[in-house]
Structure 1
């Protein structure tokens, strides 16, 4: 014979919201509170041999156990309940044996102390009987009210076209909304995984690398794809002219010497092409000033320079990109930085060091002198027989190689 003991471990309740809701919706909110409470308790207790949940609403059971499309209020709460618990552990408890209804029925504290239903639970639990109702496909009227009529279906299709003589097709903005991301790194990683999935469908990569992490090339390709997308949306006329020069030349092409590299990225031609800098430093990519991804790139540069000011952030940004209205755009992003706003200022300024000892001593004039490199410099050397009045005791120089000593006796 099975001996069962019951203990009231914990409970939780909430006040009915001021916004009027139907009784089934309120009972669904109670089921969600129960799912959250059970999940929290399961994380605290060392061992749980089994979990069983009860509700006195058949409508709530139908919402949890059926995979139909419900309205937004019901759908969000049902999805969270399914995430925290398994739908198979939910059972029905008759309303007359539901202990959670006792406080709402106006029982006093003395009556609750004497209530067996409140402390020991329903009688069928003591008999180890679990009431699991069979739910058919037909829902009751209360559940049917929340049924979503003609649910919309969404299909995302990513197409690719070869770069012909026509303008290149920018499709990432239609597939992903960059304004939903607050970190450029996360956006690039998500894009890299999407590109990896597409390449596997095409058979251009090995399927055995499904569990491998992203590499640097995939992140770089994702960034180049977004740069092309931004440029295509903002500089469409320049793209079309560079691919097929017809009509008047856009002014930005003459102003920045724009050209397309081998990855179809629009770059600015400068005067340091013969330097040993990387391509992004010699010929930065042109970016607009009003795109969300540009703001994310500037914010990343601002974090890379340890939240320094506008000048340092803009200088770091121009190592790879040339942003139109760069200073104005950078100032706007830096002013919206949460870290800088929390600290009250941009913490890039450093207190000046103490002055050298020779600059703060009370010595005669010209006791300590210094010269800076400024071309050939002749210094007269005083002979031993002459007066030492006004002679410099110490001389400092930045070791300019063109400094020459000269005696006044020739």
Structure 2
């Protein structure tokens, strides 16, 4: 095809357009047999001569009839042939690669109607076919022609070779394709009422969701919300002219608070169970399909209550017939949080049993579980550290090199050494453990004290024995903080900035790169931590005298080669698997509120902080963050921070996703509902009262609020 396109350009012809036709629902022997599609190329020479030739065609056998399944309809077969045409057109365009206008022709008005409508309007089969056809043929136009002018009809009906020789319109297309485009058939306007395209139309059910009233977002505490509604109800009562001589003053009474609670429950039920309220008021029971049919609800003071089976129990009326509250309504979360905090952050079962003495939320276990998981106080008593997918091994671990060319160093101790002199006191010392990053070989050096000079002396002895290393990685030593006085000395040594500067200057002069891992992150140096553990276990038993045999040079070289072969074939492959942290987690976002984990402090005394900076790894994941606290800034690994389950962290996560396109940390929990619904202070709000004898509105200097009289109307 590409050679044909080049020949057209060389002969002075211009590709005026691609003309396509198809036919799909022939009748052969009284049933549908096949469908097909064909493609024609129309070229226009410089002199205006038009030439049309058949380029390619494709046919398919119609699906066989299945007695168990529904018979394939003719419009669906027509749509299948349209999809076949689109696939053939796509293959042609990938081979020719020309910029030509495409015209698609069909003799089916139903298919043309389907293709002119959005795919979501139709059922699954039609929607999938229409979507793919529209995507492939987006640069062309679909038109309608009569069946007698459709050359693809020959594909579906079949024809002998002798008959095909006389069919000029099969090889050259219809006669009107040689004329100007203004003389081509004009597609008629489609009236959907006149065709049967609606057979495949998907039934759409529109449900109008009622949003909760704004009064539930004004306060997040049950006590504050109840007092606010009680004040609103008192204001309405005092504003009426008939109550001028009996106004309610002073503190809010318990009766007013109870009426406020009933008003809130009644409003929530009108939003969640409108049909149930009507059914119980009329026929004294709800429909069997209702979500609360198993509770046998009944009306008490205009409120749906649990009918239950405790009518003869010697308990209060509220416990016999508690108020029904939908667990998806904001009031249910406020009630569950109130009882959880009232019982001093009780667990699930105690919170449920206490709450059911007056309220009966649906799906109560899921509701209480969500409230407990979103409680910051409960989270701080049992925090969970953040995790991330275990990082890939750095190049220093997987690239072969000479032993001890790249090492990690750590201190172990203290130990006590007794010199052979008589009556000498034990002397405290330490052991510097050098671990090869490639071969895991271990070199031990005895260090007299924790001074900088003693460490540099051990480093020089190590270099003299094993050779000068190119890279040295060191622990930040904050993990040595403990109760013992000796470990405090280790901590102060590695935290001393002067020590770090001297070590880095000394090693830089020898072309040695010195690196420190994040503080209190032993998982960044698991190799040397494992060596320290092995040394401590090995040091418990008496050591035997080790004798070395001097092997010939050839044997040493052979053993060295065998060692590196086994290292490449066996050891390197064992590093593939991740023993933990096997799942990809959401990254921490800047501004996230966290708790810094301290090994030797109770969780409630851990510092609160906010992430000020994140450090991306080579794979884009964040495993080290900078946290700002009241005591200063700290650099910590994510295994030492606990992300608080508050809504601010979720909002930061959404912004991080929109900006960076990476999966941030999301907790999916709920916090103080008042924080996101807080309005500017000082705005005035008006309460509209349905009372002809009083003024229609009264301004109050509070937050902006507007509500119907259903909330503040007293119970009848």
**TM-score surpassing 0.5?**
no
Normalised to the residue count of structure 1, the TM-score between the two structures is 0.42
Q: Which has the higher strand share?
A: 2
Larger Rg: 2
